């Protein structure tokens, strides 16, 4: 099978918390104009057309895939109106499950009713739908291409763990994408790649962007993902500070709105409404999404949302009092009017829904500017759907009045388009910063001068120290793409059939033991060994500069090579 470099088309899938889509470009098109990237055809969103679809999956009662995106929302709404939805599975905004620290291959996720399904299956269905939609598009164009003719790119937040990245890789495999043809791209890097080309070619409406050092702030539905890059003389990008961020995406605004409703009618009534009125709840979410996109800092008109009558009726029927009376008993007295199927919020109250999320972002950015490598950065590049919000833009400008805040045209598509370009030119990123100190658990000979007595164990009649952290790379170190760190490990028992290497990560620079408070085991490598009574040496090679941590362990005797594979899950 041809390698990724030999493929004639690159396809990127931007799997987002709230919205997902794909884009592509042929190699001959890229060679003529790298910025010429084709976005998937507009999806039918009902009242308007959208270049991305909501990240939601609908499965039949037997657990098989039914639909994705707007089609899934509409079908589920129809089922709910007929009260036939109870045994169907409806998953939305499930990407954030991978933002959790502990991710295992067998984790399950719950749909909106609490029905469970393996997460790998749900993620795989979503990716498979986007893959098949792309293949249908190419077939209609008469290209004659198949899934194996494509170099696939899958985007993930830079702040994600190695296990989360591997999970997405396996989900892509579940969707029928061969791992050898797949590259994981980091979202802020993809956006930076796109904007670099725009600035060079002068095709951007964002003005000149030729600063050598800048911060990329990727604000999506689920996360804020931040990196700092410095352009090198050869036009490649060097990461100068490790990726950072948090769960401060646009969905936090939805949560704040829900809290207002809950303070008025109570959590039980709101839950009852959501459980029993799926179609109405879906409409409320869509209505809120539209209002979120149009909020401005210079408009003090009240914000009017169409709100389902069922929400008011649910409360009044169960409480015996009116919505108006309920509002009078809350801090929102005089700030909210709720009549029939409309709710009106004072402009300041609606803008306040964004406050906590935006405050988390700006506070983190202020802290970042005190870090080594970040000082001296004068340009901030805002990308991602949430960055298109005027409140976010103004808050960042106010926090950094001397900085140049740059927002590319269609900032919400910068990651998707950039991921395609990254697929053609993966070496545009020349080096990255290690997010953690990585090492392996070893048991060296016990030395009473430096090893605590409680770590002393006997192995094969020899005193050894257990749980020692053998460091391969230190947090904050810069690693060039393709650079490897090597180490040698020797069996400690005769007749060992295999060597188990446990890989650990730690945010501290110099952990002594893998049992230190901040150390976490990422996964393990099992090296099969040949039959021999001798002690055997195993060479370990770790590559840290790629978007995914790569590791290889091998033992060579009698010209036989035993290669091990790393498993984060």
| Architecture of the 4-199 domain | 2-Layer Sandwich (3.30)
pLDDT band at 59 (very low <50, low <70, confident <90, very high): very high
Query: Tokens 């000082």 sit at which residue?
Result: 375
Give the pLDDT confidence score for residue 560 in this predicted structure.
54
Rounded Cα distance, 140 and 125, in Å: 22
pLDDT band at 48 (very low <50, low <70, confident <90, very high): very low
Residue 150 has pLDDT above 90, yes or no: yes
Strand partners, 556: 561
Q: How confident is the model over 239-256, as pLDDT tens digits?
A: 999 999 999 999 999 999
Rounded Cα distance, 76 and 89, in Å: 9
Q: How crowded is the C-beta side of 493, counted as CA atoms within 13 Å?
A: 12
Per-residue DSSP letters for 185-251? EEHHHHHHHHHHHHHHHT--TT-----SEEEEEEE-SS-EEEEEEEE-TTS-EEEEEEEEEES-STH
- Average pLDDT, rounded, for the chain: 89
DSSP collapsed to 3 states, 491-543: CCCCCCCEEEEEEEEECCCCCCECCCCCCEEEEEEEEECCCCCCCCEEEEEEE
Q: How confident is the model over 513-547, as pLDDT tens digits?
A: 999 999 999 888 888 787 765 778 888 888 887 88
Domain definitions of the chain by residue range: 4-199, 251-352, 434-563
Residue 34 has pLDDT above 70, yes or no: yes
Angle between helix 119-140 and 162-174 (nearest 10)? 50
Give the pLDDT confidence score for residue 205 in this predicted structure.
38
CB 445 within 8 A of CB 418: no
Work out whether strand 53-54 and strand 19-26 pair parallel, antiparallel, or are unpaired.
antiparallel
Indicate the fold that domain 434-563 takes in CATH. Substrate Binding Domain Of DNAk; Chain A, domain 1 (2.60.34)
């Amino acid at each position: 099978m041809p390698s990724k470099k030999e493929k004639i088309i690159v396809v990127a899938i931007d799997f987002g918390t709230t919205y997902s889509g794909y884009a592509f470009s042929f190699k001959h098109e890229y060679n003529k104009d790298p910025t010429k990237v084709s976005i998937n055809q507009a999806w039918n969103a009902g009242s308007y057309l959208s270049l991305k679809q909501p990240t939601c999956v609908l499965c039949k009662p037997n657990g098989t895939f039914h639909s994705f995106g707007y089609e899934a929302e509409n079908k589920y709404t129809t089922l709910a109106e007929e009260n036939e939805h109870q045994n169907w599975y409806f998953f939305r905004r499930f990407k954030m499950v991978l933002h959790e620290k502990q991710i295992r291959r067998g984790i399950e996720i719950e749909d909106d009713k609490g029905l469970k399904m393996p997460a790998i299956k749900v993620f795989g269905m979503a990716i498979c739908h986007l893959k098949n939609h792309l293949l249908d598009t190419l077939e209609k164009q008469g290209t004659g291409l198949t899934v194996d003719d494509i170099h696939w790119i899958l985007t993930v937040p830079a702040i994600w763990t190695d296990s989360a990245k591997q999970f997405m890789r396996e989900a892509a495999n579940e969707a029928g994408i061969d791992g050898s043809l797949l590259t994981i791209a980091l979202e802020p890097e993809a956006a930076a790649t796109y904007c670099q080309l725009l600035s060079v070619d002068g095709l951007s409406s964002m003005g000149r962007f030729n600063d050598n050092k800048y911060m990329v702030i990727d604000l999506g539905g689920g996360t804020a993902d931040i990196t700092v890059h410095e352009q090198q003389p050869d036009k490649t990008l060097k990461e100068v500070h490790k990726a950072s961020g948090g769960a401060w995406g646009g969905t936090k605004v939805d949560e704040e709105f829900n809290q207002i409703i809950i303070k008025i009618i109570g959590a039980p009534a709101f839950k009852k409404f959501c459980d029993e009125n799926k179609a109405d709840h879906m409409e409320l979410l869509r209505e809120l999404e539209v209002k979120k996109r149009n909020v401005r800092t210079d408009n003090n008109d009240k914000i009017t949302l169409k709100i389902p009558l069922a929400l008011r009726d649910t409360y009044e029927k169960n409480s015996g009092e009116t919505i108006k009376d309920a509002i009078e008993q809350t801090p929102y007295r005089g700030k909210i009017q709720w009549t029939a199927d409309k709710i009106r919020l004072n402009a300041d109250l609606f803008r306040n829904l964004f406050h906590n999320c935006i405050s988390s972002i700006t506070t983190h950015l202020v802290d970042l500017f005190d870090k080594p490598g970040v000082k001296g950065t004068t340009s901030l590049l805002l990308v991602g759907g949430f960055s298109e919000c005027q409140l976010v833009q103004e808050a960042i400008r106010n926090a950094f009045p001397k900085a140049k805040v740059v927002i590319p045209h269609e900032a919400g598509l910068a990651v998707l388009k950039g991921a395609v370009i990254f697929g053609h030119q993966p070496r545009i990123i020349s080096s990255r910063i290690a997010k953690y100190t990585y090492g392996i658990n070893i048991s060296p000979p016990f030395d009473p001068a430096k090893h605590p007595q409680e770590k002393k164990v006997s192995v094969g009649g020899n005193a050894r120290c257990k749980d020692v952290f053998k460091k391969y790379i230190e947090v904050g170190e810069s690693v060039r793409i393709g650079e490897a760190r090597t180490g040698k490990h020797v069996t400690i028992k005769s007749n060992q059939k295999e060597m188990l290497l446990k890989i650990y990560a730690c945010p501290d620079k110099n952990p002594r033991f893998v049992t230190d408070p901040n150390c976490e085991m990422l996964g393990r490598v099992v090296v099969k060994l040949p039959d021999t009574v001798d002690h055997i040496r195993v060479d370990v090679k770790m590559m840290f500069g790629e978007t995914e941590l790569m590791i290889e362990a091998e033992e060579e005797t009698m010209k036989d090579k035993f290669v091990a594979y790393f498993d984060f899950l």
